[in-house]
Amino acid sequence: MSGAGRSTDPLLGVVQAGLRVFDLGRPMFVGMPQSPNHPQFWHTLPRRHGDMVRPDGGSAANDLIVTGTHVGTHIDALAHVSHDGRLHGGADAAAAGRGGRFTEHGVHTIDPMLRRGVLLDVPAALGLETCEPAYEISPADLDAAAERQRVAVGAGDVVLIRSGWGRRFDVSPDDYLGRSSGVPGVGEAGARWLADRGVLAAGADTIAFERLGPGAGHSLLPAHRVLLVEAGIYIVEALALEELAAAQVHEFTFVLVPMRIVGATGSPVRPLAVVADG
């Protein structure tokens, strides 16, 4: 955002027109931490300034990007995961993807989100700076965070779960991915806690949303099965939640608009948390 009177204090977000806007999206750059299961992000300039100069001295540069749809901060469409050959609602997964795109449950079917958002700061509820590697965030932990913050999670909400692991994003890809250490996150029980409350979407500050065991990688993803396949709940991964948590903003208007890539299983996104200033 731009304009007179803008504040860029990292703990206040961007202040404009009586609102504080927190940017929850990660910067996308070559070499950024990302899941090894998805095509790597690549950006280059096929035309640079000076490669072609117009008679009046003008010049233009342009870009080429190559990326998977589950790279950087992104949303998982319901087509992303199947179980026993079925997508959410019982759709045949193989048949749904014929022709090279998912006309059913693709990311183009996700409406723009303008919803009540809730941040559940789990390490704060546990008296920690960050959750330990491979720690499974339990329903009791989610209850404790909600009680500490005096917020209730309701139907249609978007719930963002902070583990503190997002602090590692800028350290190194290996630290953030936690290949050998594992990564904290909810497991099957935590996912059912979210599903029982009828949330529209759930997100986290980690690469795969859910708990990853040491050395296990993405071998088992029960929370994805519960949320995407069984409950029809979207998942947002690799969120930047530290500024929001530091400002102790636990309820906000959540804004997210996926790219309308017809038939895709996901989309990079730049979500926002918006609250009244003061």
Q: Which residues pair with 86 in a beta bridge?
A: 83, 92
pLDDT of residue 18: 87
pLDDT at 6 over 60: no
What is the model's pLDDT at position 1?
Answer: 33
Give tens-digit pLDDT for 98-132.
Answer: 999 999 999 999 999 999 999 999 999 999 999 99
Please check whether residue 131 is in contact with residue 164, taking contact to mean a CB–CB distance below 8 angstroms. yes
Residue 10, pLDDT > 60, answer no
- Residue 164, classed as helix, strand or coil, is coil
Contact 54, 44 (CB under 8 A): no
| Mean pLDDT of the 171-188 span | 91
Whole-number pLDDT of residue 3: 35
Pick the closest to residue 186 from 223, 152, 219 (CA basis): 223
Q: Return the percentage of the chain with pLDDT > 70, whole number.
A: 94
Q: What is the DSSP string of 16-34?
A: ETTEEEEE-PPP--TT---
Instruction: Tell me if residue 45 falls in helix, strand or coil.
Output: strand
Average pLDDT over residues 37-51: 95
Inform me whether the pLDDT recorded for 5 exceeds 60: no
Query: 163: Cβ–Cβ under 8 A, 6 or more apart, which residues?
Result: 122, 123, 130, 131, 135, 137, 184, 185, 204, 205, 206
Q: Is the pLDDT of residue 4 over 50?
A: no
**Mean pLDDT value across residues 194-201:** 98
Q: What's 14-26+70-276's CATH class?
A: alpha beta
Q: If pLDDT is split at 50, 70 and 90, which confidence band does 215 have? A: confident
Mind listing the pLDDT tens digit for each residue in 264-274? Answer: 999 999 999 99
Given this model, what pLDDT does residue 36 score?
Answer: 87
Say if residues 203 and 252 touch (Cβ distance below 8 Å).
no
Tell me what pLDDT residue 13 has.
60
Q: What is the mean pLDDT of the chain?
A: 93
Mean pLDDT of 78-99: 96
Q: Which residue has the higher pLDDT, 215 or 198?
A: 198
Q: What is the pLDDT of residue 15?
A: 62
What mean pLDDT comes out for the span 179-201?
97
| pLDDT in the model for residue 217 | 76
Q: Picking from 28-42, 81-95, 102-116, 253-267, which range would have the lowest pLDDT averaged per residue?
A: 28-42
- Span 217-234, mean pLDDT? 94
Give me the mean pLDDT over the 241-261 stretch.
97
